[in-house]
Structure 1
């Protein structure tokens, strides 16, 4: 699914970087400095809120804009952890693109 989303984002003109190793996500974000991070709520044994709290605690990464997606309605938990946006799966690609555009063009990324 991540590869498919990455291909679709690249088709739309974005550069997509996939980080399949959960334990390396923060390093990947630090190395690539993405405009927007899209992550699933369930990342194997790790859940996005814990990862996002670590990201927000890091002074170098806390300003990263993050969209969390999930097949479960986890919006409250995602927002509480610091997600800028939440998308419930299945979502239309246009919903994701709109969220990305809004975050890229907003001053702080937060509504």
Structure 2
């Protein structure tokens, strides 16, 4: 896969220079924007593969930019922000961001987040898994047509809610899903019964994780939500 085009939306010159220099040393193509208005124009005209977005822009809040972009595009958005409160992360992720990196950050972590996002682009999980009958991630397999799940070639039995949770996470590999998003997708309406969700996630983990205290497939983002990790080098959909 060719290196993607990345739009860097950042008004702080030193941080913008750090990000673009990092991208340049890795061979990535990029464009930059310093305001919310110019970032939307760049997103429309340049059609970037990934957007790296600061929330604190001079003319527009980054969350509003995410909402605007999401009205016409599913381009992955990685937030890079000094806002470190859980409510800020949840707000950005619920608006449609794919990942959230808190300043200050290391270039190694930024590159790692980019690699995760690139894997999601490569496999186009949201589109492929809708029509795929078989999903494979490491030793975990989901047969959507049969409604069956295998781990290490052995079928495991899940409750309907556990199966729906696993399927939702599988269709969003590498993406942090907030508690509210999961509750809405699984139960069909917004509810705040996060303790119940944690119970279901705990029972699911006991069935698919050999060491639930050190999960291999489902990562907890404390106070925010959950993410299915990619295990090994590739996700397979058939």
TM-score range, shorter chain: 0.7 to 0.9
Equivalent position to 2:92, from 70, 73, 78: 78
- Residue number in structure 1 paired with 2:71: 57
Q: What displacement does 1:87 show?
A: 0.4
Shift of 1:79: 0.5
Which ranges of structure 1 fall in alignment gaps of 5 or more residues? none
Q: How many residues align?
A: 108
What TM-score do the two structures reach when normalised by structure 2? 0.43
TM-superposed CA distance for 1:100, in Å, is 1.0
Q: Which residue of 2 aligns with 1:30?
A: 44
Q: CA deviation at 1:108?
A: 4.0
| Among candidates 21, 24, 27, match of residue 13 of structure 1 | 27
Q: Does 1:2 align with 2:2?
A: no
Q: Tell me which of the two structures has the higher relative contact order, counting C-alpha pairs closer than 8 angstroms and 6 or more residues apart.
A: 1
Instruction: Sort the Cα spacing of 1:45 and 1:27 in 2 relative to 1 into closer, same or farther, 3 A.
Output: closer
Matching residue within 107, 119, 128 for 1:93: 107
How far is 1:63 from its partner?
Answer: 1.3
Residue 39 (structure 1) shift: 0.8
Structure 2 unaligned runs (5+)?
1-14, 127-171, 176-238
- CA contact under 8 A between 2:51 and 2:76: conserved in structure 1? yes
RMSD: 1.6
Residue 29 of structure 2: SS of its match in structure 1?
coil
**Rg larger in structure:** 2
Cα deviation digits, residues 8-45 of structure 1 (max 9, x gap) = 11111111210124212122012222221001011113
Contact 2:52/2:80 (8 A) holds in 1: yes
Structure with the higher strand share, 1 or 2: 2
Of 26-35 and 81-90, the range deviating more from structure 2: 26-35
Equivalent residues of 1:68, 1:86 under 8 A apart = yes
